Chain A
Amino acid sequence: MSVFGSIGNYIRESQIWGSVFRHGVPRDRRTRAMAILSNVFLHLHPVAVRKSGIRLSFTWCMGGLTFFLFLAETITGVLLMFYYRPVVEYAYNDIIQLRAHVTLGLLREIHRWGAHAMVIAIWLHMLRVFLTGSYKPPREFNWGVGVILLKLTLLLSFTGYLLPWDQLAIWAITVGSNMARATPFLGHEGPGAQLMRIGDVPLMHAGSDARFLLLAGTAVGPGALLRFYVLHCIFIPLVVLVLIAVHFWRIRKDGGISGPL
């Protein structure tokens, strides 16, 4: 036995190794099953899967890729939060500083391109699930959860778009959030806004409607920056995390990766 082999054996037989991995080297059926069952992350999987279900040409790996990109966005996002302050006076300058001075200055690039890639990956995941008819019973509910996750992914990307506080950011968000002004009943220029009144007092005006709620003002300003920051970093990711848990759990409960019945 080589030196490395004996060192490897020594490590695998030690008490520390044995306390972390409570099964032998996954070389036979039993230990391979144990490897999945005794690991909190891996046990998202079943022990065995249909061979044709995990072909790359069947799944395109797009669901897994979306999840991977979500993790990559979380890690780079947390690191970016060390350098960024969601205040109009600082925000743009912080990005410039980040670009100029922080070692491994790829953080923002990875975060931004990862966000675009996540949007593309989740669309293609939906396309795959649709074209294989995998939304059909018993997976109707999980398809619905997936649609909400897709919507939240777009909102995550949209809220993040504002944070660099450059021209690209505020005008893209201005165009997008102007829609809220026209929300039926809840936007001051939406149909039915006239009905939202008590006596002569209109309830929906520029300072009280859906866009005001979103932007904390009548235009994209300091309040909007803070709101988008909190939505982007805390609120939407938390909701997404919960829904991902439901989504993965239901894949298992609904019979795993779909296949011909």
Chain B
Amino acid sequence: MNGLNTLVLAATSDGGLGSVIKDLLNKASVPQIFVPLMAIGLIVALLTYRTWTRPAIAGLLALAAIAFYVWSATDENFFKIIVKPDNVPITIMLTATAIVTWLAFRQAAINDARMERGEPLIESGADDKVLVWPDLVYTEMICLVLCSIALIVWAILLKAPLEPAANPTNIPNPSKAPWYFLGLQELLVYFDPWIAGVLLPGFIILGLVALPYIDKNPRGNGYYTFSQRKMVIWVFMFGWVIMWVVLIVLGTFLRGPNWNIFGPYETWDSHRPAALLNVNVSDLFWVVLPEKTGLWSPGLPKNAVAGIPAMFIREAPGIVLLGGYFFILPVILAKSVLSKLFKDLGLIRYAVFWLLMSWMMLVPIKMVLRWLFNLKYFMALTEWFLNV
């Protein structure tokens, strides 16, 4: 009995290895650590895609991930969040995404190696035709049956969630959108609703539709490859993995009451204070900078100058920054680093490319500036609801 007590104590006490790891992971759950960690993970994965996709290594990684998940599920708080009925699809999504990403990059690695040696691709053999009946219709039939079974088993095992009847006076804390929109809801931390909820989703759709017209690279059409389409795959995977999947995980698993961050092994405590004092570029320029350097007297401009309303003078530093980012930076890039791209695309395609790219990159830029300097807005024309 004593021995058992000691064992239980060792496993659950503050000093145990398990709790050290949990503490570490809880601390790493804040976005300023979690998102960069995931970004580094993606970069390493893309750089070493020929290594980790080998079946033996990928298998070991999968085993490690499963072991980690099972071990984590023994934690009460972690378990509570992953078995929420509407969160179960996220686990399925993560698993499926991991499997197909491996499958794609494995075949890309094989194809890239074959092309270097001058051998035919996995997908080669254009004359190699088979009849749809039976080769395709039977595959479809089997998929249909298996998926029906999977769906019915899922439906038997897990009840669809039904909470108490709608009550407009009882606001749950936190209030969350459906899980597939939680990446966008997470962006509300950094942007006003007109950007996070309207502009960025619009640009995602526009960007995807525009993709085939901007990506003029004729290679890599109809087969898996990475080496032939490096740039476009880097951009797409960054957008898909970091700015969509990772933010969904952050929003569903790690955001608790008052939209505070809670580690996966922490209890959701609705009384934790959220103290964050965010500053605008105008505050930094008109107040913080002169206080530090004494160049001019601190204080936000309140009077119009030469017929220009005070709010434009107040926001001038931010307007200059954004103007430079949106309109001058692309010109500089077109004449230097991106000159080849500019030549390939032409003016109109390049302008559309920059419109989409600049807004996409504004998301990580603003995140980093928020984490480093508590930046709230570059430009805060609050009078017009025009805050960026």
Contacts and interface: CB of A to CB of B under 8 A. Distances in A.
Interface in A94-141: 95-96, 99, 106, 108-114, 116-117, 119-120, 123-124, 126-128, 130-137, 139-140
A183 B128 CA distance: 52
A165 B100 contact: no
B139 A170 contact: no
A16 interface: no
Nearest to B199: A184
A243 interface: no
Given A64-B143, A109-B160, A175-B175, A147 B205 contact: yes
B175 A171 contact: yes
Contacts, number: 274
A197 interface: no
Contacts of B283: none
Interface stretch (B57-65, B75-83, B207-215, B315-323): B207-215
A207 interface: no
Interface in B147-179: 147-148, 151-152, 154-156, 158-168, 170-172, 175-178
Contacts of B71: none
Contacts of A172: 175-178
A219 B171 CA distance: 13
B170 A127 contact: no
B108 interface: yes
Interface residues of B, number: 91
A166 B34 CA distance: 33
B149 to A, nearest CB: 12
A60 B137 CA distance: 15
Nearest to A141: B212
Interface string B205-237: 100110111010011111111000100010010
A166 B124 CA distance: 53
A168 interface: yes
Given A56-B139, A131-B224, A157-B178, A68 B147 contact: yes
Contacts of B160: 108-109, 111-113
Interface string B286-297: 000000000000
Contact of B136 (A49, A259, A260, A261): A49
Contacts of B107: 57-58
Contacts of B175: 171-172, 174-175
B126 A32 contact: no
A198 interface: no
Interface stretch (A4-12, A187-195, A231-239): A187-195
A140 B137 contact: no
B198 A140 contact: no
A158 interface: yes
Contact of B193 (A68, A72, A178): A178
A15 interface: no
A171 B172 contact: yes
Nearest to A195: B384
B185 interface: yes
Chief secondary structure at chain B's binding surface: helix
Given A32-B134, A167-B166, A170-B168, A58 B123 contact: yes
A216 interface: no
A149 B354 CA distance: 25
A251 B76 CA distance: 49
B331 to A, nearest CB: 26
Given A171-B172, A260-B223, A54 B135 contact: yes
Interface in B128-149: 128-137, 139-140, 143-144, 147-148
Interface string B367-388: 0000000000000010011100
Contacts of A24: none
Interface string A65-85: 100110010000000000000
A260 to B, nearest CB: 5
Nearest to A134: B222
B42 interface: no
Which of B134, B140, B221 neighbours the largest number of chain A CB atoms within 10 Å of its CB? B221
B100 A60 contact: yes
B100 A128 contact: yes
A176 interface: yes
B325 interface: no
A137 B3 CA distance: 70
B131 A32 contact: yes
Contact of A92 (B129, B132, B166): B166
B133 A136 contact: no
Interface stretch (B20-28, B85-93, B274-282, B305-313): B85-93
Given A32-B134, A52-B122, A147-B205, 10 more contacts: A106-B152, A123-B93, A127-B104, A128-B100, A136-B218, A139-B212, A168-B163, A170-B166, A182-B197, A190-B385
- What 7 pairs across the A-B complex have the smallest Cβ distances? A179-B197, A109-B155, A140-B212, A182-B193, A116-B89, A258-B222, A182-B194
Interface of B: 86, 89, 92-93, 96-97, 100-101, 103-104, 107-108, 121-126, 128-137, 139-140, 143-144, 147-148, 151-152, 154-156, 158-168, 170-172, 175-178, 180-181, 184-185, 192-194, 196-199, 205, 208-209, 211-213, 215, 218-225, 229, 233, 236, 240, 381, 384-386
5 contacts: A36-B137, A51-B128, A127-B100, A161-B178, A220-B166
